[in-house]
Amino acid sequence: MDATRDRQDERIERIIGRLLQIGVLTAAVVVLIGGSMLLAQYGSIPANFARFKGEDPVLKSVGSIVRAVMTGDSRAIVQVGLVLLIATPVARVALTMVAFALQRDRVYVVVTAIVLALLLYGLFWGRA
């Protein structure tokens, strides 16, 4: 029945899986660089995270993070790595949608598009 289609799905997923690993490793390297800078800068000050301080005006959205990185802010560099990391599953869903489109599988293009829309909503407008 769907055996050949399954094998094809699998091949595409394997490529997507590799791309994801590259995404995660890139994110980890950026986080490591930002984290080292952060420790060099603030490593010796006392840590207190017992109380939630609410949102950091610089770090609350994707756009403001990018602007802060331009000024070499270590916290913002860590956040860029973390945004990259959060973006990897989003990229996976987008690529899976392309794969379904190539197979002319309309139902699953729609299903995948719904998931993608929900993810993008969370990432860009999720202030609820």
For the segment 62-81, give every residue that binds another protein (CB under 8 A): 62, 74-76, 78-79, 81
CA distances from 116 to 38, 80, 90, 121, 126 (A): 33, 21, 7, 8, 14
| Nearest CA-CA partner of 88 in 76, 96, 78 | 96
Count interface residues toward another protein (CB under 8 A). Answer: 74
Distance CA 119, CA 128 (A): 14
32 contacts another protein (rule: CB under 8 A): yes
92 contacts another protein (rule: CB under 8 A): yes
Q: Which of 63, 71, 72, 127 binds another protein (CB under 8 A)?
A: 127
Residues 95-124 vs another protein: string with x where CB under 8 A?
-x----------xx--xx-xx--xx-xxxx
CB of 98 to another protein, least distance (A): 13
Helix axes 62-70, 74-102, angle to 10 degrees: 130
